[in-house]
Amino acid sequence: MSATSRYRKPIISFEHGTRIYAPSPAEPRYRVVATDPDGRRIHHRVATEAEARQRARDLETALARSGARRGQGNAPTTVGELIDRYLASLGSRSVRYGERQEYLLRMWVRPVLEHHPLDGWTPSDSEAVLDRARRTLSPATVQNVGSAMRSLVTFAYKNRWLPRGSDPMWLVRYSPAAEVQGQALGYIPRTALPTDDECNQLFKALDDAGHHNWALAMRLKHRCGARWGELIALRPVDLEFGTRRIVRIHRAVEQSRQGFAVKTTKNRQRRVSTFPTSLVEPLQEWCEQVEHDAGPEALLFPGPDGDFANRRAFQRIWARAARSAGWPMKRPTAAVWHPHDLRHVAACWPLFDVGLDPAVVSTLLGHANAAFTLSRYVGVRGDLGATVTAATDGW
């Protein structure tokens, strides 16, 4: 049998796992495939599609009456066992994603549902998990907890360990709602971000503390909008200073408990961004110095050991500089604004100061589409009542 016919997808799949395959060069008849309650494979070959559909319906009826579900013999019996199976299935996802899911499930789902019977998991149990999380977590993190539980349910559905009629997340709301009528969820008003003067004070504080490379890195992030993993992966070869001022962002660095790993950028988009003329001279001098010392493929902004910079170590440098710059602080070791907020400032610069088209800005930032860029940064600005009153005065 050829590879093409062997891995042909079924033309239809039913609730209890029965599948119909179309004829192929190796098998000119329709095939109906299922698994009985004891795990044995059922395989029928018929001449027409109508016969195949009838045979499949008969098998589905028999499986439904038996109460069998695929994988029933080794199905998890508790939510804790389901969590273990789910985490073990994340090998194809990024390490950081797996670590985040493991943390959310270990800290917020396991303490409530670890030994809870899987077939007795109800929406009220899910609400209990979220109510506990809401007491201490931000709305965004509560949403992550809810998303992790929804992933568990989806995983159980795919393995047919939960019947479709049972939904432990039915009517469970975990996404925060926008506070203003017509405002998109996740909207970031420019007034909630540091001003350019406040950013310049931070860059000066980094310089005064002797972190000249990080002062330059943050000035670049402040205008090109690179994410942290993209910023620390940059090399001299990625910057161009000729007739165009561009930054090629083609890779990123992922930090996890297992160390550092180079990966593709978010949304798997290779892109170019830009920086203003005022950064050309200092960036070019820094690139020439790095290239002279270590070559064009060396890291522009490495850690103290010359390897990729550690995010947590930099956050301590950031907090000290923010405090010296007079930024608002949540506590002595944590500023109100994070390094990622410079990416939001970088998005507002071309949108509102330079006046670029949102589709162009979306491409520069590596967003999935321009609609996301608009919903994130473009909203009602100023006093809505005063604006509408002034516009309708002459009517």
Rounded mean pLDDT of 100-121? Answer: 93
Closest CA to 17 of 59, 75, 65, 48: 59
Closest CA to 148 of 207, 199, 75, 97: 97
Long-range contact set of residues 198-204: C-beta below 8 Å, sequence gap at least 24: 198/325, 198/327, 199/342, 199/345, 201/325, 201/326, 201/327, 202/321, 202/322, 202/325, 202/327, 204/325
Closest CA to 42 of 64, 19, 24, 65: 19
pLDDT value at 263 more than 60: yes
Whether 189 contacts 376, CB under 8 Å:
no
- Cα distances from 133 to residues 205, 262, 269, 286, 330, in angstroms, run 37, 33, 34, 46, 21
Cα angle: 249, vertex 250, 252; to 5 degrees:
85
- Residue written as token pair 């994340």: 90
pLDDT value at 187 more than 60: yes
Give every CB contact of residue 73 below 8 A, 6+ residues apart in sequence.
Answer: 39
Name the residue type at position 23. Answer: P
The Cα 318–Cα 206 span in angstroms is 8
Looking at residue 380, its pLDDT comes to: 61
Looking at residue 394, its pLDDT comes to: 78
Rounded mean pLDDT of 137-142? Answer: 88
Whether 18 contacts 54, CB under 8 Å:
no
298-349 confidence digits (pLDDT tens): 999 999 988 999 999 999 999 999 999 999 999 888 999 999 999 999 999 9
Task: For the chain, give the mean pLDDT.
Answer: 87
Looking at residue 41, its pLDDT comes to: 81
70 — pLDDT class (breaks 50, 70, 90) = very low
Looking at residue 38, its pLDDT comes to: 63
Whether 139 contacts 176, CB under 8 Å:
yes
pLDDT value at 16 more than 80: no
The sign of the torsion formed by the CA atoms of 338, 342, 343, 345 equals positive
The Cα 11–Cα 315 span in angstroms is 52
Bridge-partner residues for 263, per DSSP? 252
Looking at residue 290, its pLDDT comes to: 93
Which range, 129-133, 262-266, 370-374, has the best average confidence (pLDDT)?
A: 129-133
Rounded mean pLDDT of 240-266? Answer: 88
179 — pLDDT class (breaks 50, 70, 90) = low
Whether 57 contacts 46, CB under 8 Å:
no
Looking at residue 1, its pLDDT comes to: 40
Distance of CA 250 to the CA centre of its chain: 18
Rounded mean pLDDT of 96-125? Answer: 92
5 — pLDDT class (breaks 50, 70, 90) = very low
17 — pLDDT class (breaks 50, 70, 90) = confident
3-class secondary structure, 236: helix
Assessment of whether the complete model's pTM goes beyond 0.85: no
Looking at residue 59, its pLDDT comes to: 87
Cα angle: 360, vertex 365, 368; to 5 degrees:
85
Rounded mean pLDDT of 32-44? Answer: 79
